[in-house]
Chain A
Amino acid sequence: MDEDILQDFLVEATELVDQLNEQLVDLEQSPSDRDLLNAVFRGFHTIKGGAGFLGITPLIEVCHRAENVFDKIRNGDVEYDAVAADVILRAFDVISDSINLLNEGHRELPENNPTLLKELDALTKGQLAAPVAEEGASQPKLSLPADVDPDGDMTDDEFEALLNQRDQLEGGAGVAVSQAEKALQLPEGLDPDGEITDDEFEALLNQRDSLDTLHVGGVAQTPSLQLPEGMDPDGEITDDEFDALLNQRDLLEMSAMTEPEEEIPVMKPVAKPAVARAQVASDDDEPVSSGASKAPAKPGTTESTVRVDTKRLDEIMNLVGELVLVRNRLLTLRTTQASGEELSNAVANLDHVTTDLQTSVMKTRMQPVKKVFGRFPRVVRDLARKLGKEIELELRGEETDLDKNLVEALADPLVHLVRNSVDHGIEMPADRIKAGKPKKGTVILAAEQEGDHILLSITDDGKGMDPDVLRRKAVEKGMLDEMTANQLDDKAAFELIMSAGFSTAEQISDISGRGVGMDVVKSMITKLNGSIDIHSVLGEGTRMSIRVPLTLAILPTLMVSFGEDNYAIPLTSVQEIFDYETGKTNKIDGQMMVRLREKSIPLYFLTEWLAPEKVKDDYAGDKVVIVTIGNQRAGLVVEQVNGQEEVVIKPLGMMLKKVAGYAGATITGNGSIALILDLPGVIHRFQ
């Protein structure tokens, strides 16, 4: 495989897979949307084309069949209903997994599951029969979507009937089929007992093969290629169809088979019926939501490239040009003893250019939040189907841009929250009707920019949370005593669900409540310097709002100092600042504590660690910065508080990676280096 071409293909395919993920679910909502249908068809077609070029056979097999199905759907021969969607989505998962494997550097793909291929073929073939074999209306169940059992299995009976339909069709469609074919099949293929054993089947196929070989002599090859696929009733070949046809030919050549291609779709799955059946069982163990459960695993493979609009690059190039001009200006000024005014003009210009440049470069890291949202229609669809709920997912503000790293980091927490909404939030349809709500629940996933923050919210119109139940649970679990619990206001009660070890689900379902709970979500969001807020009304629904900074690279901090040394404390952790007063402190068990509104908070004297030579007896005049670390609070005693500053985080490099207590460093306005404190690490140093 040519690695360069493969990489190009993967970039394109990854994008297509992302698009298809969304389009497929949309299509289920509006199956008659021609544009959408064409887009999906083109998606599979393009992936197949690339895979064909590179000879990735397992991928070609699936794409080819999926494309066939969608061609049928386009022609109105097949309906894209939930059952068909399940098959197609599973095929899509195979494609998506294959692309992921290739992206991760694997070059050998696993063989396709024959059952899936069989089902895809059935999807195409069975429906193909429907319009022609109208007299077969007595067996409408056999025609396509219905004959694929939800369990994914196909009984021998069904298969047999399917074959009959095929044969009838081939006769009816006038594919220059000799009567010999029918004659051959009937006596040999059909047992009086109506069952086909594997052996019989094999024999049947062999006969057909030999028959077909005979055909080829007499029948023009091209029509026989085109007809069985039933491309066009109008007898005209469009470009797309022609392409498809060519691809089929290619496929045929690739698999080095000598039969006319009409056989291929059937041949493969049937050739190993025993294997196929053996795998059905294990297949069924995987629930419909296999795609959904895999979804959160995706962000593990982080992309190392970004696509940037050339316009943005031009903008940057232009600004760099400006920067060079300013530099030249400054160099000239240096040699010519320029006046102060000229110099300050040049410096002001430099200020402008660099600020613009910084913004432009930052923008190249921005990606639309759509990248995360794109997976949710599928997650919700699969979950809802599995749980028997009816849910509509609404996406808002998909075009909102945020930092690439954030896009990746937010994926997991969001998946968890959306699953929670679907699983615990939205009620069963019957319950909803009883409660006087529309049968179909709504989950809204929204993103919007709020100054230098992004606000993400997950809103559902489900049953909401009962603060009293939460209070009671907290007491039952021994997390709070009854008094404290009763004193919590509703908001604080909702926040209980984010404490470790708090799961109110009576029964742990395999969808949410797998131990990885809201506490993990909260810690992930906190790590991104974000916050999470819960609002819920019993009976009306729940709204979870996540607020994260636009970028991970810039951190709002509180600057503190000891003499000349600056330190930055992440502002999200800072609660309040007050003067150190000896009267308010006391020593308990060797630990200094400070009393704040009737509560005792441990005090840590940063000097002891940061500048041991400066440790003094009297800290009067110093400041106490109260910070929150997880659920605890601590007071840090610092010499001076210099105010708020937004800083660019710079890594400390490998030599200092093992030194605890620092999250990085930054360069302050006056050019000196400030160290950014990592609060959990700092506290750890003192314990």
Chain B
Amino acid sequence: MNLDARQKLSSFQAVDAGLDDDGAYAGPSARCVLFTLEDEIYGIYVKKIREVLRVGKIRQVAGTPSHVLGVINVRGVIVTVVDTRTVYGMPRKPVTDLSRIIIVELEEEQTVGMMVDFVMEVRDIPESRFEALSSTKENASRYIQGIAHYQNNVIILIDVDNMMMKLA
């Protein structure tokens, strides 16, 4: 994987400063990376994300659970890649040009890669848009931190620490 193939988050330009649909300021906001799986939009807090990579060669590891795609070499660090689709019970899908691996940083300096269909943008979502989530069993199993209705979309915010802890 060469340097060009690596798309740093900082190169994303599509940051709007927490404005609501009408362009008015809507209070404090949380900056999220938005991506898609099938036709659902998911978000992860930007501070949990180290970088977003194009998909290179993934080394498979025999004997791992089905949601683990394998390991990749990120500048000398071996990072496990999780198939986010499998985690959410969607069928596996071949890697396309749009596929990306989001490298997330967990507690205790652990990093994990999440394979996603398509990374949309980085966006500030006003905190007022987040909906408190009833802690149903189903929500817990989906590692969901919250849901935001924003600009006619439903964004599912992922609790990555929780997700990876459960998967490990």
A653 with B112, Cβ < 8 A, contacts A667-B73, A667-B76 known = yes
Residues of A within 8 A of B61 (CB): 652, 656, 659, 662, 675
Interface pair A673/B168, CB less than 8 Å apart: no
The listed residue (A565, A660, A671) touching B73 by CB distance below 8 A is A671
Determine the chain A residues whose CB is within 8 A of the CB of B167 once the complex forms: 655
Q: Contacts A656-B68, A661-B63, A672-B59: A650 and B77 contacting too (C-beta < 8 A)?
A: yes
Fill in one digit per residue for A655-685: 1 if any B CB lies within 8 Å of its CB, else 0.
1111111101101000111010000000001
- For residue A673, which residues in chain B have a CB less than 8 angstroms away from its CB? 59, 71-73, 78
Within 8 Å of chain B (Cβ to Cβ): is A609? yes
- Rounded to whole angstroms, the CA-CA distance of A602 and B46 in the bound complex is 52
For residue A219, CB closer than 8 A to chain B, the reply is no
- The reply to whether A655 and B63 form a contact with Cβ atoms under 8 Å apart is no
- Docked Cα-Cα span, A656 to B111, in Å, equals 12
Q: If the complex has contacts A662-B61, A665-B71, A675-B61, are A652 and B80 also in contact, measured as CB distance less than 8 A?
A: yes
> Of B57, B63, B76, B82, which is within 8 A of A659 by CB?
B63
User: Is residue B110 contacting chain A, with contact meaning CB distance below 8 A?
Assistant: yes
Q: Is B132 an interface residue (CB 8 A)?
A: no
* Bound CA–CA A609/B64 (angstroms): 11
Contacts of A672 in B (CB 8 A): 57, 59
> Does B14 have its Cβ within 8 Å of any Cβ on chain A?
no
Chain A positions 596-618 with a Cβ under 8 Å from a chain B Cβ: 609-612
Find out whether the CB atom of B80 lies under 8 angstroms from the CB atom of A655.
yes
B168: A residues at CB distance < 8 A: 654-655, 657-658
CB of A565 within 8 A of CB of B59, answer yes
Smallest CB gap from B164: residue in A: A655
- In the bound complex, residues from chain A placing their C-beta under 8 Å from that of B108 are 654
- Chain B residues with a Cβ closer than 8 Å to the other chain, count: 25
- In angstroms, Cα B112 to Cα A659, docked, is 16
- Whether B80 pairs with A610 at a CB distance below 8 angstroms is no
Is the C-beta of A651 less than 8 angstroms from some C-beta in chain B?
yes
Q: How many angstroms between the C-alpha atoms of A181 and B72 in the bound complex?
A: 85
Interface string of B66-94 (1 = CB under 8 A from A): 00100111001111101000000000000
Residues of A within 8 A of B72 (CB): 673
**Which partner residue on chain A sits nearest B77 by CB separation?**
A650
A659 touches B64 (CB 8 A): yes
Against B, the Cβ 8 Å flags (1 = close, 0 = not) of A274-304 are: 0000000000000000000000000000000
Closest B residue to A651 by beta carbon equals B78
Query: Once the chains are docked, how many angstroms separate the CA of A611 from the CA of B59?
Result: 13
| Residue B24 lies at the interface, judged by CB distance under 8 Å to chain A | no
In the bound assembly, the distance between CA atoms of A659 and B64 in angstroms comes to 6
Who on chain A is nearest to B56 by CB?
Answer: A671
In-complex Cβ contact of A650 among B57, B78, B106 (8 A): B78
User: Mostly helix, strand, loop or mixed at chain A's interface?
Assistant: mixed
How far is it, in angstroms, between the C-alpha of A658 and the C-alpha of B68 when the chains are bound?
Answer: 13
Q: In whole Å, how far is B91's beta carbon from the nearest beta carbon of chain A? A: 20
Interface residue? B7 (CB, 8 A): no
B62 at the A interface (CB under 8 A): yes
Q: Which residue of B lies closest to A611 (CB)?
A: B62
Measured CB to CB, the nearest residue on chain A to B72 is A673
Q: Closest CB-CB distance, B82 to chain A, in whole Å?
A: 7
Instruction: Check A610–B62 contact: CB distance below 8 A.
Output: yes
Taking CB atoms, residues of chain A closer than 8 Å to B110 are 653-654
Q: How far is the CA of A208 from the CA of B82 in the complex (A)?
A: 79
What distance in Å separates the Cβ of A645 from its nearest Cβ neighbour in chain B? 16
Q: For the complex, is B141 an interface residue (Cβ under 8 Å from A)?
A: no
Interface residues of B in 43-62 (CB under 8 A from A): 57, 59-62
Taken together as a complex, chains A and B put the C-alpha atoms of A221 and B124 apart, in Å, by 74
- Interchain CB contact under 8 A, B59 and A656: no
Question: Which residues between 68 and 111 of chain A lie within 8 Å of chain B, taking CB atoms?
Answer: none
A610 to B59, CA, bound (A): 12
Nearest to A648 among chain B residues (CB) is B76
Chain B, residue nearest A674 (CB): B59
Contacts of B76 in A (CB 8 A): 650, 667
Could you say which residues of chain B place their CB within 8 Å of the CB of A656? Answer: 61, 64, 68, 71, 80
Most buried by A among B64, B111, B112: B64
Task: Return B62 CB to nearest CB of chain A, in Å.
Answer: 5
Contact pick for B78, options A610, A660, A665, CB 8 Å: A665
Q: Which residues of chain B are near A610, meaning CB under 8 Å?
A: 62
- Output the nearest chain A residue to B82 by Cβ-Cβ distance: A655
Give which listed residue, A609, A653, A662, A667, contacts B79 with CB less than 8 A.
A653
Q: Tell me the bound Cα distance from A262 to B111 in angstroms.
A: 62
Chain A, Cβ-Cβ closest to B80: A655
CA distance A612 to B108 in the complex (A): 35
**Can you list 25 residue pairs at the A/B interface with Cβ under 8 Å?**
A565-B59, A565-B60, A611-B62, A650-B76, A650-B77, A652-B61, A652-B71, A652-B78, A653-B71, A653-B79, A653-B80, A653-B112, A654-B106, A654-B108, A655-B164, A655-B167, A656-B64, A657-B168, A659-B61, A659-B63, A661-B62, A667-B73, A667-B76, A672-B57, A673-B72
Taking Cβ atoms with an 8 Å cutoff, the residues of A that contact B are 565, 609-612, 650-662, 664-665, 667, 671-673, 675, 685
Q: Which residues of B does A touch, CB under 8 Å?
A: 57, 59-64, 68, 71-73, 76-80, 82, 106, 108, 110-112, 164, 167-168
Q: Which 7 A-B pairs have the closest CB atoms?
A: A655-B80, A673-B59, A610-B62, A665-B78, A650-B78, A654-B110, A654-B168
Sample of 11 more A-B contacts, CB < 8 Å, known A565-B60, A654-B168, A660-B63: A609-B62, A652-B80, A656-B64, A656-B68, A659-B64, A664-B78, A667-B76, A671-B73, A673-B72, A675-B59, A675-B61
